[in-house]
Amino acid sequence: MKIFATLTVGVAIGVAIGWYVGHTRPMNAANRDARRYLTTMEVDDSTAAIFALRAIPIVESGDTKKAVTWLAKPIGSYYRVYASRAGTNEDRLTLCAKIEQLATTNAAVAAEIQKRLGEK
């Protein structure tokens, strides 16, 4: 009877430790992934804010051509990186199609894309 009680306590402790390790490790990994994603998102948001801060005064000054040229830079950069990537998802394909459509009517965007594609 003493052996049975010892084995039962040992199994219970083993199950508890197994549950604890199995439950907390994935949670830690998920939290790390979430923090990494939020950091990446902040970088993206700050980049967008920097471009907006630079473009708004140019637009307000009335120099729309310079503003379009400035705003074409991230478009060309995005297109260079993501347009030809294998396994591109539907959102990328849609955005790249819109960029290509804009490039047919906007010389600044077309020039920026050609400039960026030449950087490869």
State pLDDT tens for residues 68-100. 898 898 888 888 888 877 666 788 888 888 999
How many C-beta atoms surround the C-beta of residue 9 within 10 A?
A: 10
Digit-coded pLDDT (tens) for 40-64: 777 777 788 888 888 889 888 999 8
Residue that is written with structure tokens 């960029």 in the block: 99
Domain around 100: 63-120
DSSP 85: -
For the whole model, what pTM was predicted?
0.58
- Is 56 in the same domain as 71? no
Total count of domains within the chain: 2
101 and 79: one domain?
Answer: yes
Handedness of CA 41, 43, 46, 50 (dihedral sign): negative
Encode 68-97: b = buried (16+ Cβ within 10 Å), e = exposed: bbbbbbebbebbbebbeeeeeeeeeeebbe
Q: Say if CB 73 and CB 112 are below 8 A apart.
A: yes
Same domain, 67 and 114: yes
